[in-house]
Structure formats: C-alpha cells, structure tokens
C-alpha cells in the first residue's frame, strides 16, 4: 500500500529539495511523484538542459537517498498549470505539426524526447530493477478528456503512444491517467477530488489514484482555494477502504511558478495549492499533521489489506453507513475479534454529510461523525477518525519592519522564519520608457503574430506605427463631438493602446475584440500597441493553434473619408 507525495522539482530551488523530500517522508509518504517538463529540458530543438531547477537526475537521486520510491510522469504533455502545458514553443513551428494526435511530425518529436528521458534514467541506474527508486512511469496525461476531439486519429495516437512506451523496455509499468480505454498492458488511473468509486478497466490492474486534488491552483484576482484537512483525509481513507493501492497527493508541495512558467490564462506565480507543505517549504498545519496520522493508521492496516484473498468483506451498517473488513480469514462481524488469531483491519464509514451515526459491529458500538471514516487496524480499536483533527494549526503572518539597510526608495518587508527569527525582503520600483527602443527592434509590413516574433522569450511585444492626421480630420471630430476609434478583431490576453506616449486604454480577454477611442492631434501621431501574454494555454485540444497577440484586422474608424486599415501598414516591433 503506497502513499505518494506530488513534488515538481522546477517549482522549488535545488537547495529546498532535501528539506521538502524529508518532510514528505516524515509525513508518511513512500513515493515522490513529479511531471517531466519538456519546455524546461529542451528550450531549443535538440538543445537539452538538465541543470539548476531542472536537474532531474539529482532530484531523483535525492529521493532515493531518503529511501523513497518514485513515480515519473514523463508525458511529455504535462498540463500542470504550466506554460503551454509543458510543450516547447518551437514545437509549433515544425511544418505540418498537430499536437497529441496521429501526426507524424509530432509523434517523432514526442518519441525522441521520451526516449531521451528513459535512456537517461537507465544510464543513471534509476529504475527499480537497477536498484533505483523509479517503480512507475506515465505516458501522455489525461488524454481521455480530449481524445474524442480528434476522432479516430485520437484513438490511433493513444494506441501508438502506449506501444511506443512499452517498446522502450523500461522493465516497470506505465500508467495512463483518465484513459478508460488504455490497453491491457497499461495501467489506467484516476485523477479527481474523490476516487474511491474508481475501477480500472481490467481486474488485472491495481487501483491507482495519480492525482488526489488536496487543494487547487489560484487564478489572478480570484480567491485562494482551500480544501479542509478532514475532507482530504476522508477521501484518502475511503480510497484505501474500497481497495485502493496507491494514492498520490496533487500537490504535497506545490511551490512556485518561477520566471515565466505559469500557465494560462491568468494563473499566478504562486502554486501553493493549499498543499501540506506550503509554497515556502513550511508545514501547513493542521493538514500535514492530520494526514500524517492518517498514513500511520493506514500502515497499521497494511498486513490485513494485502492479506485478503479477493474482495474485502462488506457490511451494511445503516442507510449511509458501511464497513469494509480486511482479513486473512473469515470474520464474524457480530462478535469481538479479540483472541481469534486472525489478521484483521476494518474501515467504518459514515457518508452522511450532516448527521452523526451510531453503528454496531464486532460486538460493540461505534460513534461515527458526519462524513468520516474510522480506521480500526485490529478490528476493535479506533486508531484514527478522519473528522477528528488533532494537529495544531499554523498561522503565517507578514509584518513590516525597518532594517538598517532600508531607505524610503526601498521599503522592506520582514518575514517570520520557523525559528522565531525574521528575514527581510527588499522591494523597489522602476519606470520604463513607453514605445520601441533598443537594438533588437525591427520594422516590417503587417501585423505579426506575437509568438512568431518572440518565440516565447518575452510576455511583451510592442507594435508601433505612424498615423498622419489632417486638419480636416480634426475639424470633423470637433464638429461632431466624437473621437475616432481603434478596432482590433481579436486580442489575447492583454492589449494596451498608447497614442503619442500616453495610455489611451486597455482590453483583457482570450481572443476578444478591442474598440478603443483615441485622441489624435493634427500631423504625425505615434500609435503604439502593447501585446501582453499572461501564460500560454496549458489545457485542451489543439494547443498549437492558440498562439498569442493580435488577429484579424487593425483599423481606425470614425474618419470623415472612411476607415483606415492599418493591418498592412509598416510597424516597428520590439520585444521585452
């Protein structure tokens, strides 16, 4: 029976890894799980990077040093609220490519990268049969959610991906999560808030929960999601109660979307996820402690859980109450188990969300709180109840202070450390020039697609052109009491409009139209558009078709002699 802790190595610094892994182990984890992030490891085609936060081998070896197993989710599509779902942007520039379908250019690149990772793990002797920690690995990711979008080509691709992975001869099982039609040799697994009712597509496969969502990610401007510790514990206890083998917390440590790795649109820098270990590597109580106690209770039941021959014994205890009894022999549930010599463990569940229930089993009465599971490792004594939270609560505060090195230009924030001391964080502001500048600017005719210019090296792309306004135009607007408007058919994610260096207005949205009144003066005017990306789309079908920036026509309306189409004007471009 395995408990797994989700930790994404690039969402922490290497200096944090040993402490985080140790906290996972102390909390009762047997396994560490992570995605592999393609765009971090192959930023340019054929050029690989496995250093600093992307030193995957170092991370796996640190896990091994703690005596833990490893679940390696290669994908290489990750989703993970990660920029472009983990795909490198150069991939979309390959002629004729379509992602995640029966497309030869895509399959060739995917196979090359997956093979690269597998060969690296073999070379470093990290698979379990080599003495390493890796016991499971994943190919693709939640493809069953979108497979139907691709029709028969999607079905063929899924089968190809499975056979390609099996052909790499890794010597350990492959999983496909949320893939109900996974082939017989591939383990299909569950991703959800609750997976106790999940059944794999074959009786020959164990029941695995690859993503137990113990929190959720935060969007810009939205609330910080929170999942109570007792509900997480209830979901996990129910999973093992109903035959689960391996459960993985997504996330056990969420961490940080460093640099520009946050997915989109509008996911934020923090990937804290309300996880048992918070973004800064500190324990989140009571969640961490409550789940640790749960894991201890489950481990006490392990001899009975693995000894049962076939299904556990099921006992109906009430309209919304039930027991699952695991033993190496026949159990008479109407009498005490004391002294009968059997290995026996039981889970008593009350799935009523509002009412307490008193149930009778093993010759005695048990009081079950609403929405709870009581765990009886010896079929007699309650070692743990998911609704009884005994762990302390931790509170993190941010307090202002005035360290000696601060100044009015550099306000400082004092952050409390776990040992009662404080460490400081210094902030400053800067003002940037509006418009185009620098040696990398260039001019060309027409509106270029944002990603085709920046190749995702920057979230910012400036478009500047000149607009000549006659005295007739100015007189027309004055007489009518109106302003001309700039219209763009579609923008993504943020567009800002500047006229002669002054901000005229903004628009935010995913491929929405923009119509912005603009104030021109007689003569030559500088019109500048700023395209901002807030994370490339990380989920869904046809990701390669999404892109960023502006699409369609760009024109000025409301002129006395008709609209001016600026789409094919000469524009100066600058990124950064």
Which of the four pLDDT bands, split at 50, 70 and 90, describes residue 424?
Answer: low
User: Residue 406: what pLDDT?
Assistant: 38
pLDDT tens digits for range 499-526: 999 999 999 999 999 999 999 999 999 9
Which of the four pLDDT bands, split at 50, 70 and 90, describes residue 407?
Answer: very low
Whether the predicted pLDDT of 477 surpasses 90: no
Supply the DSSP string of 394-407, one letter for each residue. Answer: P----EE---TT-B
Of 81, 109, 140, 142, catalytic: 142
- Structure-block tokens of residue 13: 């610094």
Token pair 């990750």 is found at 78
Q: Are 111 and 75 within 8 A, CB to CB? A: no
The yes-or-no answer on residue 211 being catalytic is: yes
| Rounded distance between C-alpha atoms, residue 124 and residue 386, angstroms | 41
Q: How many CA atoms lie within 13 A of 214 on its CB side?
A: 30
Q: Any idea which of 62-66, 199-203, 259-263, 414-418 has the lowest mean pLDDT? A: 414-418
Whether the predicted pLDDT of 409 surpasses 50: no
Nearest C-alpha neighbor of 118 from the set 73, 84, 158? 73
Radius of gyration of the chain (CA): 29
- Structure-block tokens of residue 295: 């894991």
Share of the chain above pLDDT 70, in %: 94
User: Residue 450: what pLDDT?
Assistant: 95
Whether the predicted pLDDT of 254 surpasses 90: yes
CB neighbours of 150 closer than 8 A, spacing ≥ 6? 100, 101, 102, 157, 541
Of 211, 279, 322, 532, catalytic: 211
Average confidence (pLDDT) over 397-424: 52
> 160 burial class (0-12, 13-18, 19+ CB within 10 angstroms)?
middle
pLDDT tens digits for range 274-323: 999 999 999 999 999 999 999 999 999 999 999 988 889 999 999 999 99
Number of other CB atoms surrounding residue 576 within 10 Å: 14
pLDDT tens digits for range 452-470: 999 999 999 999 999 999 9
CB neighbours of 479 closer than 8 A, spacing ≥ 6? none
The yes-or-no answer on residue 184 being catalytic is: no
Cα 363 from chain centre: 47
Strand residue runs (E) in 43-85: 69-75
Whether the predicted pLDDT of 573 surpasses 80: yes
Which of the four pLDDT bands, split at 50, 70 and 90, describes residue 26?
Answer: very high
Nearest C-alpha neighbor of 195 from the set 214, 173, 174, 221? 214
Number of other CB atoms surrounding residue 112 within 10 Å: 13
Which of the four pLDDT bands, split at 50, 70 and 90, describes residue 576?
Answer: confident
Share of the chain above pLDDT 90, in %: 84
Q: Where are the alpha helices (DSSP H) in 275-330?
A: 287-307
pLDDT tens digits for range 116-141: 999 999 999 999 999 999 999 999 99
């Amino acid at each position: 029976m395995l408990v797994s802790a989700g930790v994404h190595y690039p969402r922490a610094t290497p200096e944090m890894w040993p402490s985080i892994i140790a906290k996972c182990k102390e909390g009762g984890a047997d396994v560490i799980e992570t995605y592999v992030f393609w765009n971090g490891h192959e930023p340019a085609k054929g050029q690989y990077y496995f250093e600093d936060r992307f030193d995957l081998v170092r991370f796996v070896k640190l896990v091994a040093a703690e005596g833990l197993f490893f679940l390696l989710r290669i994908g290489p599509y990750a989703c993970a609220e990660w920029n472009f779902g983990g795909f490198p942007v150069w991939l979309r520039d390959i002629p004729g490519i379509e992602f995640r379908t029966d497309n030869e250019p895509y399959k060739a690149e995917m196979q090359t990268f997956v093979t690269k990772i597998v060969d690296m793990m073999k070379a470093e002797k990290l698979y379990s049969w080599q003495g390493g920690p890796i016991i499971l690995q994943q190919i693709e990711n939640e493809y069953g959610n979108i497979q139907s979008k691709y029709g028969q080509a999607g079905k063929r691709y899924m089968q190809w991906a499975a056979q390609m992975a099996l052909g790499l001869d890794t010597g350990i099982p492959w999983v496909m999560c949320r893939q109900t039609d996974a082939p017989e040799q591939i383990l299909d697994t569950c991703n959800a808030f609750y997976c106790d009712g999940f059944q794999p597509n074959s009786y020959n496969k164990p029941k695995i929960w690859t993503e137990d969502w113990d929190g959720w990610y935060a969007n810009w401007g939205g609330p910080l999601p929170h999942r109570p510790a007792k509900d997480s514990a209830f979901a996990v206890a129910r999973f093992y109660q109903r035959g689960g083998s391996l459960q993985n917390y997504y996330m056990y440590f969420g961490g940080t979307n460093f640099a520009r790795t946050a997915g989109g649109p509008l996911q934020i820098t923090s990937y804290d996820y309300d996880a048992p270990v918070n973004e800064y590597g500190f324990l989140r109580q009571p969640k961490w402690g409550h789940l640790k106690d749960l894991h201890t209770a489950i481990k006490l039941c392990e001899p009975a859980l693995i000894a049962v021959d076939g299904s556990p014994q099921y006992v109906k205890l009430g309209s919304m109450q039930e027991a699952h009894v695991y033993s190496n022999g026949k159990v008479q549930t109407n009498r005490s188990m004391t002294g009968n010599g059997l290995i026996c463990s039981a889970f008593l569940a009350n799935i009523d969300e509002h009412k307490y229930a008193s149930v009778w089993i093993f010759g005695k009465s048990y009081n079950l709180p609403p929405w709870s599971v009581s765990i009886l490792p010896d079929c007699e004594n309650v070692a743990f109840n998911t609704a009884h939270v005994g762990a302390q609560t931790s509170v993190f505060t941010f307090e202002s202070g005035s360290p000696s090195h601060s100044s009015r230009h550099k306000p400082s924030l004092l952050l409390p450390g776990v040992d009662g001391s404080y460490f400081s964080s210094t902030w400053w502001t800067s003002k940037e020039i509006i418009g185009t500048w620098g040696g990398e600017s260039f001019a060309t005719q027409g509106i270029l697609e944002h990603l085709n210019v920046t190749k995702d090296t920057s979230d910012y792309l400036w478009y500047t052109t000149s607009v000549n306004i006659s005295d007739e135009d100015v007189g027309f607007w004055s007489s009518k009491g109106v302003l001309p408007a700039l219209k763009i058919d579609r923008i993504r994610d943020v567009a800002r409009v500047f006229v002669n260096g002054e901000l005229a207005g903004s628009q935010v949205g995913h491929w929405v139209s923009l119509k912005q009144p603009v104030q021109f003066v007689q003569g030559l005017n500088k019109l500048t558009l700023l395209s901002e990306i807030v994370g490339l789309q990380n989920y869904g079908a046809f990701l390669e078709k999404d892109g960023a920036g502006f699409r369609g026509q760009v024109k000025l309306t409301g002129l006395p002699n008709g609209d001016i189409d600026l789409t094919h004007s000469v524009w100066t471009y600058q990124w950064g």
